[in-house]
Chain A
Amino acid sequence: MAVQTTTTAGTTQAAPRRLLLEVLHDWVTTVDHKKIGLMYIGYALFFLVVAGCQALLMRIQLAVPNNHFVSPQTFDSLFTMHGTTMVFFVGMPILFGFGNYLVPLMIGARDMAFPRLNAFSFWISAFGGMLLYFSYFGASGLYGAGSAPDVGWFAYAPLTAQIFSPGHSTDYWTLAILLSGIGNIGTALNIVATTICMRCPGMKLNRMPLLVWLYLVTSCLAFVTISPLTAAQIMLMLDRYVGSHFFDTQAGGSAVLWMHFFWIFGHPEVYILVLPAFAFANEIIPVFSRKAIFGYPAMVAASVGIGFISLSVWAHHMFTVGLGPGPNTFFTLATMVIAVPTGIKIFNWLATIWGGKIHFTVAMMFATGFLFQFLIAGLTGIMLSVAPFDWQLGNSYFVVAHFHYVLVGAILFMIFSAFYYWFPKMSGRMLSERLGKWHFWIFLIGFHLTFDFMHVPGLLGMPRRIYTYEADRGWMIWNMIVSSGAVFQAVATLLFVYNMVWSYFKGPIAGPDPWDAWTLEWSTASPPPAYNFAEVPTVESRRPLWDIKHPEDPDSRYE
């Protein structure tokens, strides 16, 4: 009872090779959600390598005390560019790339609701990324060699004021983020409209794959979090260009207001990044446990709950400002409350695995790593949510270790998992599982060497963003371990890149449904034709392909 596929994949391969210019023209002018999704992903992977190299340079600088591998000025711009790039030009585009690719396929649509807006959003975000890196050449205009932004990724006022940040580096930073914000709002709008208006017949809201639900929540969250950042960037630009006084403390402006505006964006942003990681887990864990997801309605409710609660926790980034007992209590409690829906999710994933017939493919291995590491990241998060604890450790390497545990241990692991799971759909070929296992184990070792041990210098009092340190502080051995872990991660990432390139040309042909999965994207060819589905599908349950493969026992009988 295998699923039938179109023969279009074969015919395109037989076509004569096209000129490079034609191929380029095709990609630049495309409005196909799959191509735009792939461009998002490719662009994010490029910046992942760039920002990863910046991280390596910083780790070399910090590996031993009294080091002068890079200059202090370079170090400042390294951590600024690393953070900004990873959040705005790696995390957001890679997740929106997967969303662009998968959401229409999963709901049985032929494209996004607004294909041209989709292309616009991608190119405006891409332009933002180029602008950020152009600062290396253009930041001081005609007067000097130029320099990258060096105000930190949250760019606290009044450091960003014209007198403290002369030249144009901060302007490039502001403009890059403004443009990326516009692109993200466009894509989020598109995902919401697609999800609500483009579902195939029978795809009711309570039958949507959980991935689509989570992308819906993420996109709604984007409206109310990225827009405030855009507003704050407009204010900052007004301050810098026309001399207004929003964040000018000498004219009565408030530096704390910038903190509020930034973190009203900044904290929900973490959830914008992590919800798609949850989305991948929701699709991958059931397929490789050979069980339907446990507690679908609870998962949806928990996702929506996380979306709402995440809007009320931003000031836990500001405990050290001295907000007073009232706000401290409120934000401590709100932050702790968010552990409840997140806990529901973890228990549901465990219950999905429980009693399942687990297939430890590389995708599932990364998903398992995600489960454990996300739990630990959440636990250190609860520790930091306690205001007095945060007073002690705020702005230390403990915080850096905590959020890298979320960003790398949870989000990046699920992104790798998603690559191993959906690469066959996107390229038509399987990734090598053997190389994938090497990638997983080396990356796992590197991750734990780096980020487990990074908590310790934080507890010993090492502040974040420090350029170098004296030998007698007792931080050296820990920094050495942390830096050596970074080498493992770099090697593993190179293996992954090699695996993708090799598999794209030489990997075994995947076929439409290599994992025996249940959602609609696996019902069409790999890679899918431009129109996705020759005939718009009709669904009866949450697992339409299960219904087709098992007509004697369809899900629709139980839902």
Chain B
Amino acid sequence: MSQTAVIPQTANEAWILPSRGVVGMACLIVAESAIFTIFVVAYLYYLGRDQRGPTPRQVLDLPLFTSICLLSSSLTVHLAVAALHRGRRHACSLWLAATVLLGSIFLGGTAHEWYTLIYRDGLTIQTNLFGTTFYSLVGLHATHVLVGLAMLSLALVFSLNGSMSAKHTGRLEVLSLYWHFVDAVWVVVFTVVYVLGR
């Protein structure tokens, strides 16, 4: 005899609930957005309150090329998911590799920008409020890019050695949601730091 609560007259209608991966990732995205919001608020609040330079207008350049790379990687990861869904594993590997490459170009761009800022302009996190808020906000985003790249590279490895198939589409889609989020955050950071803040 086992338990219970089974009611015999239940109609056998389909009982379909949302994917827990997507819901879990959506929750994580909400939580992460709140963290970014606080850093953006701090950036905007301290904008122009520096007691000494350099200021954003003096040292920041528009990172247009790397931004385009990052944003287009949203498209490539989407194409990777779509290819996997249709069972075209080689296409999936190709698009994943393109995503990793584009993301790496973006990170390289950030590294170059920071190198220039530190060694040419003498701006570190200790220099002034701009340095404090700039490095922490952009650095927080870069950390998220790094985590995303690590996971995408793992997916690429699985895709290349053939252990990823169409039945894993759901999982890759969850990862792609994270990557889209990272890109969307960059739109905000770009607007705040490089457009409004300059």
Contacts and interface: CB of A to CB of B under 8 A. Distances in A.
Interface stretch (B11-19, B81-89, B158-166): B11-19
Contacts of A261: 38
Contacts of B42: 235, 246, 257
Contacts of A547: 7
A251 B42 CA distance: 15
A36 interface: no
A304 to B, nearest CB: 15
Contacts of A197: 17-20, 23
Contact of B17 (A185, A199, A228, A238): A199
A108 to B, nearest CB: 7
Given A244-B132, A251-B129, A253-B46, A534 B5 contact: no
A54 interface: no
B1 A192 contact: no
Contacts of B24: 113-114, 117, 189-190, 192-193
A507 interface: no
Nearest to B28: A189
User: Which residue, B2, B18, B39, B51, has most C-beta atoms of chain A within 10 A?
Assistant: B2
A252 B51 contact: yes
A244 B34 contact: no
Given A108-B5, A538-B7, A238 B132 contact: yes
A156 B171 CA distance: 43
Contacts of B129: 245, 251-253
Contact of A7 (B1, B15, B51): B1
Contacts of A30: none
Interface in A187-232: 188-190, 192-194, 196-199, 201-202, 219-220, 222-228, 230-232
A238 B46 contact: no
A545 B7 CA distance: 10
Interface in A512-559: 512, 520, 523-525, 533-535, 537-540, 544-545, 547-548
21 contacts: A114-B20, A117-B24, A188-B27, A189-B28, A192-B27, A193-B24, A196-B23, A197-B19, A197-B23, A219-B27, A227-B31, A231-B34, A231-B38, A238-B125, A238-B136, A243-B126, A244-B126, A251-B51, A254-B45, A548-B4, A548-B7
Interface of A: 3-7, 108, 113-114, 117, 185, 188-190, 192-194, 196-199, 201-202, 219-220, 222-228, 230-232, 234-235, 238, 242-246, 251-254, 257, 261, 264, 512, 520, 523-525, 533-535, 537-540, 544-545, 547-548
**5 closest A-B pairs by CB:** A534-B2, A227-B34, A537-B5, A231-B38, A523-B4
